Amino acid sequence: MIKKDYPLNENTLEEEKEIISLRPKSLSEYIGQDRIVETLKIAIEAALKRKEPLEHILFNGPPGLGKTTLAHIIANEMGTRIITSSGPALEKGGDLLGLLTHMERGDIFFIDEIHRIPKVVEEFLYPAMEDFAVDFIFDKGVHARTHRYRLEQFTLIGATTRAGLLSSPLRERFGITRDLDFYNEKDLAKIIKRSAKIINITIDEGGAYEIAKRARGTPRVANRLLKRVRDYAQVKADGVITKEVAIDALTLEGIDDFGLGDIDRRLLETIIINYKGGPVGIEALSATLQLESDVLIEVIEPYLLKTGFIIRTSQGRKATEKAYKHLHMNIKQKDKTPLF
């Protein structure tokens, strides 16, 4: 399994726990993704009124935008349990059946990275989602018999960074499908101010906006940067996060004013110098950068595409003029000697 926001996230376990504690527990505390939140409020209120479990829900989007957080909030608002697993953890049909057969009515079953479920396991999900039943198969060949086992009515919440990789039978079984998009600076600044209050650090408007600007549109990154800047403020300044403190701290972290880190810049430089600006295929990039192509596609690329540093063509990725400008390179520099 790839680490969630590897390699941008080098948190220790303790830091990870503190970041998790910053997650909102209810929809009213949740900042941003307004239309998704509104849809969920209505669906939850209607289900509670009818005393019925919620429909199955699929969240799609880059890491760190709140898919897991929303699943926990939904369970909290519905007053139900949440049982969590992930695609790679469900290796065999038995792993899934064990969880499904212990579900109680209304339970939320959260599957992270649902696109990584093995095909054989996925097939057990179809009747489970549609008919709340699983079919056990005994014997093989002509003697094969099936026994249908009834399940309690549960709600599956799937999270994926690659909805395109989901088979259509699986995708079609979700009643609500939503794409989470990157957050704007205003919402990120609000999230940062809320988190600052929880972790007890004073931050002014300029400080919150400076961190927001460099947080790649991602709350998880924003909270991680906030903690780095808090350390810096407490050691190098008077414990207050201002714009200047945030700039100094994040510059030291190698994070530029677009939120790009070393890996992003290395990717852009590789396209420009090694591949003359592109187009370059993802596998070639992955080999040159020595990073898994899944990490490039799911973690690093989405923000570079969103902010227009690269574009994707049928022949591969190309660096844009914005990338050349940002790296202070001109088009001729693409003829320089490759970096590695």
| Cβ proximity to ligand ADE, 221 vs 329, nearer residue | 221
Which CB atom, from 191 or from 203, has the smaller least distance to ligand ADE?
191
**137 HSE (CA, 13 A, CB side):** 11
With 0-12 CB in 10 A as exposed, 13-18 as middle and 19+ as buried, what is 227? middle
Report the Cα–Cα distance between both ends of the chain, in Å, rounded: 28
CB 103 within 8 A of CB 151: yes
Rounded Cα gap, residues 53 and 61, in angstroms: 24
- Residue of 4, 41, 162, 194 that binds ligand ADE (CB under 6 A): 194
Q: How far is the CB of 312 from ligand ADE (least distance, A)?
A: 27
Buried b (16+ CB within 10 A) or exposed e, 242-259: bbebbbbbbeebebbebb
Nearest distance, CB of residue 128 and ligand ADE, angstroms: 30
Told to check if 221 binds ligand ADE by CB under 6 A, we report no
Residues 6+ apart with CB under 8 A from 90: 96, 111, 117, 118, 121
Residues labelled catalytic = 67-68, 112, 161, 220
* CB of residue 61 to ligand ADE, shortest distance in Å: 12
Between 219 and 316, CB nearer to ligand ADE: 219
Peptide bond before 88: cis, by omega within 30 degrees of 0? no
At 179 the three-state DSSP class reads strand
Mark 151-166 as b/e (b = at least 16 C-beta within 10 Å): beebbbbbbbbebeeb
Instruction: Provide the phi-psi class of 65: left if phi over 0, else alpha when psi is between -120 and 50, else beta.
Output: alpha
For ligand ADE, the closer CB: 69 or 160: 69
- Does 106 participate in binding ligand ADE (rule CB under 6 A)? no
Binds ligand ADE (CB under 6 A): choice among 106, 207, 219, 302: 219
196 lines the binding site for ligand ADE (CB under 6 A):
no
Least distance between ligand ADE and beta carbon 22 (Å): 5
Nearest distance from residue 175's CB to ligand ADE, in Å?
Answer: 23
4 near ligand ADE (CB under 6 A): no
105 touches 153 (CB < 8 A):
yes
Site map 21..50 versus ligand ADE, x via CB under 6 A: -xxx----xxxx------------------
Question: Is 304 within 8 Å of 67 (Cβ atoms)?
Answer: no
CB of 196 to ligand ADE, least distance (A): 11
The answer to whether 89 and 83 have CB atoms below 8 angstroms apart is no
- Distance of closest approach, residue 299 Cβ to ligand ADE, in angstroms: 18
Q: Nearer Cβ to ligand ADE, position 8 or 170?
A: 8
Distance of alpha carbon 16 from alpha carbon 3, whole angstroms: 12
Please state, in angstroms and rounded to a whole number, the distance separating the CA atoms of residues 130 and 171. Answer: 12
Q: Quick one: 190 or 334, whose CB is closer to ligand ADE? A: 190
Site for ligand ADE (CB under 6 A): which residue of 125, 191, 212, 323?
191
User: Footprint of ligand ADE on residues 61-90 (CB under 6 A)?
Assistant: 66, 69
- Between 67 and 326, whose beta carbon lies closer to ligand ADE? 67
Is the sign of the CA dihedral 102, 161, 223, 30 positive or negative?
negative
Among the listed ranges 20-28, 235-243, 274-282, 298-306, the one in contact with ligand ADE (CB under 6 A) is 20-28
Size of the site for ligand ADE (CB under 6 A): 12
- Which positions touch ligand ADE (CB under 6 A)? 22-24, 29-32, 66, 69, 191, 194, 219
